[in-house]
Structure formats: C-alpha cells, structure tokens
Amino acid sequence: MERAFSIFVISLSRRSPGEGGRIRVSFFVISAFACPAVVPRLRDEGGCFVICFPFCASCVTFPFMRRAIYPGSFDPITNGHLDVIERARKLFDEVVVAVAHNDEKQPLFSLKDRLDLLRETAGKIDNVRIAEFEGLLVEFARKEEAGAVIRGLRAVSDFEFEFQMALMNRKLDAAVETIFLMPKEEYTYLSSRIVKEIARLGGDVSAFVPVLVARALAIKLKKNISTK
C-alpha cells in the first residue's frame, strides 16, 4: 500500500518539472514511506502529530516551489542588479543568480572574482543562490528546474536586445518564461560598463556598487578611488 502510494506521488511530481522536482520527489518518498509506517506506532503514544506534521507540510509546500534564474555577466555586480534581485526574490521561492562564462565579452573580473563578489553580496540574501553556467541559458534553466528567467529592463535602449533574447529563448524552450523587472529609477542609468569606465577614470563609484565591489575595482584598476 505504502509502496503504491509513493509510486503514485513520484509520477505526479515528474509530470510537472521545473518546480523543485528533485526535492519534492525525495520529500514525497520520505512522507509516503514514513507516515504510514510511523503513525500506527506513535498514535498510542500521542506523538503522531509531531512526526507527521513536517512530512505533510513538506508535501504541501514543495509542489508549489517556484525557482527563477537571474543570468548575466555581473562584471561586476552593481546596486541595480541587487535591486532586481530584491524584487525577484519576493516573487519566487528561490532566485538563482547565474554568472555566464561569456569569455568572448572579455570581462574585467575573472569568473572566480565575479562569483566571489556575488557570494559576498547577493549570496547573503535569503532565498538567493549563486551559480555559474556555460552554454545555453535555457539548458541551465532546465537543469535547475526553473520556470522563469529574470532580466532587468532599464530603458528603451535595453529593449531590442532583451526582446530578441527572450523570444529566442522561448523558441529554444517554450517552458521557460522571461520576466522583465524594472529597477528603481535611480538605477536606470546604471550599468557594469559605465561603473567600470568611471572607476577606470578615477571617479567615485561608491554610490553605484557595494563597498566590496568598489574596493575590488580600486585594486583591479590600481587607482586611488575613495571606497569610504
């Protein structure tokens, strides 16, 4: 009976990939096996509720887990990126901030540095995870079982490229939806490229990036930039 029930719930959860399926399967399996086995034994001792509640709660919670990927070069992360992450994490159970290898863009920071800076900033925020990916974004989204890709949209100038990318990604995998989020107005003119240019010319970037990033830029560019 228990075995039949677990097979049934596994097949149910496999039918809807992209929503935390792996975790869901394991919790369902544990619940399906443990509840029927444990309940009769503990009912008499009054401990049934204590054991059953976490299992049942997991059954209710995990099927609805929503995960989004926030991809980018993050060379380096700016306050604009952090603003988008804050907005995205309110809409999803988990936001995976994914750094593209993107070597053809010749980034200022190495992949390791970009990941470290992200881990020390965005990585400290609840329900945000930092990852890296190589190859197609939609394949990474599929691997992560994410149903959405987040992109920040600052101005009309962003639109053409973003529109093309969103439609191409939809063509590659219709199950992955692109969601555009607008950062605070004060960040609409902000980009990693402009921050790097200001830093390179000796300007103060402390209002545009986390302190850690401003320091990393100063070290990288060997300029005397005030990081406060």
Tell me the closest approach of the beta carbon of residue 16 to ligand PNS, in angstroms. 24
Tell me the closest approach of the beta carbon of residue 97 to ligand PNS, in angstroms. 11
Is the CB of 121 or the CB of 169 nearer to ligand PNS?
169
Structure letter (DSSP) for residue 19: S
Is the CB of 20 or the CB of 72 nearer to ligand PNS?
72
**Out of 6, 31, 73, 81, which one is annotated catalytic?**
81
**Measured distance CA(197)–CA(215) in Å, rounded:** 15
Tell me the closest approach of the beta carbon of residue 133 to ligand PNS, in angstroms. 7
Is the CB of 31 or the CB of 107 nearer to ligand PNS?
107
Contact 159, 188 (CB under 8 A): no
Is the CB of 170 or the CB of 215 nearer to ligand PNS?
170
Residues 6+ apart with CB under 8 A from 87: 181, 183
The DSSP H or E segment spanning 91 is: helix 79-91
**Measured distance CA(134)–CA(12) in Å, rounded:** 31
Tell me the closest approach of the beta carbon of residue 80 to ligand PNS, in angstroms. 11
Tell me the closest approach of the beta carbon of residue 84 to ligand PNS, in angstroms. 11
Is the CB of 197 or the CB of 204 nearer to ligand PNS?
197
**Out of 3, 14, 101, 105, which one is annotated catalytic?**
105
Catalytic residue at 105? yes
Contact 200, 223 (CB under 8 A): yes
List residues near ligand PNS by CB under 6 A.
Answer: 71-73, 100, 102, 136-137, 165, 168-169
Helices 21-43 and 48-61: crossing angle, nearest 10°?
Answer: 160
Catalytic residue at 101? no
**Measured distance CA(152)–CA(130) in Å, rounded:** 17
The DSSP H or E segment spanning 156 is: helix 156-172
**Out of 31, 151, 192, 196, which one is annotated catalytic?**
192
- The two tokens of residue 110 are 């190495």
Bridge partners of residue 70, in order along the sequence: 97
Q: Which residue has the tokens 């369902």?
A: 28
The residues assigned a catalytic role are 81, 105, 154, 192
